[in-house]
Structure 1
Amino acid sequence: MARRKIIESEKYVPEDLDVKNWPIVLTDNLSDKDKATYLKRKKAVEMYLGNQPIKEIRYETGIDFESLRRLVLRCIDNRDENGVILGFRALIPNKRLKATQENRKRTTLTQGGSPNFLIHFPNLLN
């Protein structure tokens, strides 16, 4: 069974797959190394969404299919705090898209201390 391309998925609206609708990235503040990585990723994503053959994308950018698939999904599956698609911004090297472990909501049993503490002092639960 052949793999279905991301761009053929009914999950995405055509506007999200059109790179002309994506916010631009100012590369002036990136280091030379990060800028080169970003531009290579951008070219690969543009080629993929432009229906270029995977072999050609790999030859021109050096990015394999699994990495390319991950990059494309990173671009179209994530939105900023205003609900705008991240697009090419998701390709910036070392850009974090999800909250770190410390920022995630914790449950009361895991908020410091040991659950055994409550076993030894059950009257604190009341």
Structure 2
Amino acid sequence: MESESGLGLADTSAKAGRKIKGLSDTEMADLDKWPCPDEGAFSEDHRVIYLNRKNAVKLYVSGRSAEAISSHCGFTLSHVYRLITERCLCPHPDGLIYGWRALVPNVHIRPYRRQRLVKPNESGHGASGALQTVLGLHPELRKAFEKRILASCPPHKLGAVKRPRQAHWKWFLDELRKLGYEQQNKWPFNTQNNGYVSICNYMNDVLDANPKQAARVLGGEDAGKKLIAGDGVDRPVTKAFQRVEMDVH
């Protein structure tokens, strides 16, 4: 795999390359405007896979040949086309497209959907995809829950900056009770831990997909601002913990 700088990809606009349905002649034709994950947080293996996919997409959009894409990245044209149309251009829960976030290894664009009723066994197994099923049935609940997870705390209420996951979990259970889930003994009320692990994992996924909001929730309003602030000398800071400040006496 070659680096992006060695492939002549200075122009990341789709206008001069291939015409792609849903991309060309739209605001997202400029790939530099695509939402991007925190690439510095990847493991080395995931970073290699991600950058290889990213290079392939840029090569495809710029109009490079099938031979060039296969040689540089090992992908066929049809595979890269599916990466773009079936992953990158899919709508993200935050209202944007997935963009480069869709190329991160193990990111699920279309959540698992159950075909059978959720009936966990005595050991608690058999509830895979239950949370996504519930959220799919109640889109307004999904929206309200994600808004709650990503909500920024007022800077003057320092004690409320770190919101415990248990509080979100209890709120979610209360909303399901209003919908009659507990009365009907539906998931998560038919499990030992009332879906705590699945719900907490979902919270983590929402925060991981929205690093700026996550920084505000976990570190307050100032932390969110520092993600986009510059130090006045070097390039703007774009990642959490990229800049370190030190007071010397």
Tell me which of the two structures has the higher relative contact order, counting C-alpha pairs closer than 8 angstroms and 6 or more residues apart: 1
Matched residues in 1 for 2:26 and 2:48: separation?
28
Instruction: Specify which structure has the higher proportion of helix.
Output: 1
Q: Secondary structure at the match of 1:69?
A: helix
Which amino acid in the other structure matches residue 28 of structure 2?
D
Query: How big is the shift at 1:46?
Result: 0.7
Q: After superposition, what is the alpha-carbon deviation per residue over 1:25-70, rounded to whole angstroms, capped at 9, x for unaligned?
A: 2222211111100000000001111111121111111112222111
Match among 83, 88, 104 for residue 75 of structure 1: 88
Alpha-carbon RMSD: 2.4
**Unmatched 5+ stretches in structure 2:** 1-16, 114-129, 138-185, 187-249
| TM-score, normalised relative to structure 1 | 0.69
CA contact (8 A) 2:60 2:69 kept: yes
Change (3 A) 1:59 1:22: same
Q: Secondary structure at the match of 2:110?
A: coil
Change (3 A) 1:34 1:8: closer
Which amino acid in the other structure matches residue 89 of structure 1?
R
Query: How big is the shift at 1:95?
Result: 0.3
Counterpart residue number, 1:100: 112
Change (3 A) 1:32 1:79: same
Alignment of 1:54 onto 2:66: yes
Query: How big is the shift at 1:90?
Result: 0.3
Change (3 A) 1:25 1:42: same
CA contact (8 A) 2:91 2:97 kept: yes
1:9-88 superposed matches below 5 A: 9=21, 11-12=22-23, 13-73=25-85, 74-76=87-89, 78-88=90-100
The number of residues matched between the two structures is 102
Identity %: 26
Matched residues in 1 for 2:63 and 2:30: separation?
12
CA contact (8 A) 1:7 1:17 kept: no
Matched residues in 2 for 1:55 and 1:15: separation?
29
Matched residues in 2 for 1:8 and 1:35: separation?
26
Matched residues in 1 for 2:76 and 2:37: separation?
23
